[in-house]
């Protein structure tokens, strides 16, 4: 039951597929922009050398192992071609394995090549890093932040790696941070009460920086939970160490058993195990998206 509550609060991966209009529109606009930047419709090299009606087959091949992502997105870019998928998003891949095979006009295939590879390499790098860190989290959920370069594509890649997406955008759920608290002179109780009146979301989270702030937040949340307004509440421990978090959770559990917990700030592959043992439900890391190294792959024309 708690696992479902955590997924409901911090995961929106069900919206990150091409059947979803919002995601589909984002991917379409993203590719239009990237192809415009690359002037893909005016590839003077291919147009000078390759006969206009020449057909070819190309295969996208992994040059290192990892978790693949961006397969559906690249297939969307190659719409109109004959496509054979050897791997799907989230699959493990080994060096030299074929991911996609594309058949169609050679000129257009080469014009799209770099954009498709850029997307698949970045998304697969994020998915791979997410998977690696998840394996070290000892059962605690890991989530992305909004520190993204390619927005929904980055979030999708985290999901393909086994992570949670967290908020997709500012309209997704309420997250009260220190700058929001400044507007109510630091009054967490007032901020949480005002947030509880918003009818557009049932998910409300507040950031705290020490044990004292955590207890104040829990004291404010407890009566809001009891009023049966069907809201879900979480406390984010920002830049607190595992020992502080463990003590804060112990104090909060005396006040309420229903509050969820997130740790964020200064968390990496080396210390994520200690944070997961502190009792949080998820750990969020900007490093999943802003520091992942692209997974190496290439396109080879086979005939």
Structural domains of the chain, with CATH? 13-127+293-301 (3.90.1170.20), 133-290 (3.20.20.70)
Can you tell me the mean pLDDT for 146-153? 95
Please give the share of the chain, as a percent, with pLDDT higher than 70. Answer: 99
pLDDT, residue 182, reads 87
Q: How confident is the model at residue 168 (pLDDT cuts 50, 70, 90)?
A: very high
Q: Cα separation of 11 and 7, whole Å?
A: 5
Given a cut of 60, is residue 242 above it in pLDDT? yes
- Check: CB of residue 126 under 8 Å from CB of residue 154: yes
Can you tell me the mean pLDDT for 48-54? 94
**Which residue(s) pair with 55 in the sheet?**
105
**Phi-psi sector, 19: left (phi>0), alpha (psi -120 to 50), beta:** alpha
Confidence (pTM)? 0.94
pLDDT, residue 302, reads 85
Can you tell me the mean pLDDT for 72-91? 97
Can you tell me the mean pLDDT for 152-178? 96
Give every CB contact of residue 118 below 8 A, 6+ residues apart in sequence: 34
Given a cut of 60, is residue 1 above it in pLDDT? no
Give every CB contact of residue 3 below 8 A, 6+ residues apart in sequence: none
pLDDT, residue 135, reads 92
Can you tell me the mean pLDDT for 43-52? 94
Strand-strand pairing, 98-105 and 55-62:
antiparallel
pLDDT, residue 164, reads 97
pLDDT, residue 3, reads 87
Q: How many CA atoms within 13 Å lie on the side-chain side of 168?
A: 15
Given a cut of 80, is residue 228 above it in pLDDT? no
Can you tell me the mean pLDDT for 124-152? 94
Can you tell me the mean pLDDT for 34-50? 93
Among 62-76, 176-190, 199-213, the minimum mean pLDDT is found in 176-190
CA dihedral 36, 83, 89, 300 (to 10 degrees): -70
Report the mean per-residue pLDDT for the chain: 95
Q: Cα separation of 216 and 220, whole Å?
A: 6
pLDDT, residue 154, reads 98
Residues found in the chain: 303
**Which tens digit of pLDDT belongs to each residue from 85-131?**
999 999 999 999 999 999 999 999 999 999 999 999 999 999 999 99
pLDDT, residue 269, reads 86
Q: How confident is the model at residue 230 (pLDDT cuts 50, 70, 90)?
A: confident
Q: What is the DSSP string of the chain?
A: -HHHHHHHHH--GGG-STTSHHHHHHHHHHHHHHHHHTTGGG-HHHHHHS-TT-EEEEEEEESS-EE---HHHHHHHTBTBEEEESS-TT-EE-TT-EEEEEEEEHHHHHHHHHHHHHHHHHHHHHHHHHHHHHTTSTT-EEE--S--SSTHHHHHHHHHTT-B---SSTTSSEEE-HHHHHTTTT-HHHHHHHHHT-SS-SEEEEEESSHHHHHHHHHHHHHHHHTT---EEEEEEES--HHHHHHHHHHHHTT-SS-EEEEESS--TTTHHHHHHTT-SEEE-THHHHSPPPPPEEEEE--
Q: Cα separation of 132 and 268, whole Å?
A: 11
């Amino acid at each position: 039951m708690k696992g479902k509550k955590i997924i409901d609060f911090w995961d929106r991966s069900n919206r990150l597929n091409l059947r979803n209009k919002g995601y589909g529109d984002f991917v379409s606009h993203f590719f239009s922009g990237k192809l415009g930047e690359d002037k893909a419709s005016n590839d003077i090299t291919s147009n000078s050398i390759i006969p206009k009606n020449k057909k070819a087959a190309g295969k996208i091949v992994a040059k290192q192992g990892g978790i693949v992502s961006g397969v559906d997105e690249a297939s969307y870019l190659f719409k109109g071609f004959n496509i054979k998928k050897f791997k799907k998003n989230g699959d493990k891949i080994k060096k030299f394995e074929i991911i996609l095979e594309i058949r169609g006009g050679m000129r257009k295939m080469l014009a799209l090549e770099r954009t498709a590879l850029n997307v698949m390499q970045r998304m697969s790098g994020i998915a791979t890093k997410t998977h690696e860190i998840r394996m070290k989290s000892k059962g605690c959920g890991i989530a992305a932040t909004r520190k993204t370069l390619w927005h929904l594509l980055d979030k999708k890649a985290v999901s393909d790696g086994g992570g949670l997406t967290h908020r997709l955008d500012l309209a997704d759920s309420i997250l009260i941070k220190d700058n929001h608290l400044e507007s109510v002179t630091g009054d967490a109780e007032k901020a949480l009460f005002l947030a509880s009146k918003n009818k557009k979301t049932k998910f409300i989270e507040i950031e705290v920086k020490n044990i004292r702030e955590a207890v104040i937040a829990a004291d404010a949340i407890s009566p809001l939970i009891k009023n049966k307004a069907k809201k879900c509440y979480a406390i984010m421990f920002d830049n607190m160490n595992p020992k502080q978090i463990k003590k804060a959770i112990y104090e909060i559990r005396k006040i309420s058993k229903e509050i969820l917990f997130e740790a964020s700030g200064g968390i990496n592959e080396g210390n994520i195990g200690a944070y997961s043992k502190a009792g949080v439900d998820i750990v969020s890391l900007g490093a999943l998206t802003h520091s992942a190294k692209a997974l190496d792959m290439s396109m080879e024309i086979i005939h």
